[in-house]
Structure 1
Amino acid sequence: TSCEVTDYPSPSTEDVYFILDEIKNYLSSDIQVRRGDVLAAWSGIRPLVLNPNKKDTQSIARNHIIHVSDSGLVTIG
């Protein structure tokens, strides 16, 4: 989705609670993670990586792409 681009993006309260809800899927049911357990949070704006062989925005990858150049530089987008 589109978002406002800022110099210092930060996660919203909804973002933090979304992650906390997702964590529950990977932890034992007897472990209760609460908002107070979050010591730090950060966010960024992830650009969509365009496939040069595709013509429309529906074909833009929404996952990570890893490219290793001939010189060994690793780019994760």
Structure 2
Amino acid sequence: MTIKPIGVPNDWDNDHLLLFKDFCTIIQTPERTVREWRRCGRGPQWQRFNGNGALYLTVGELRRFLQGAG
């Protein structure tokens, strides 16, 4: 079995926004695990949308997170 490293396409703008669910899908990690990371202060820096409270992060933050994980 070959494991393919997680990567972010080069044409994605660092300012593009990703929702919590998108992040979990990209890093192939269950939402429950990522919620636990967040509760413990680990993982990427999250922000909230005004009004609806949805968690998001930028593509740049995703790249920073992946570099630290490698």
Q: Structure 2-normalised TM-score?
A: 0.29
Query: Quick one: higher RCO (CA 8 Å, sep 6+), 1 or 2?
Result: 2
Q: Which has the higher strand share?
A: 2
Larger gyration radius, structure 1 or structure 2: 1
Q: Which has the higher helix share?
A: 2
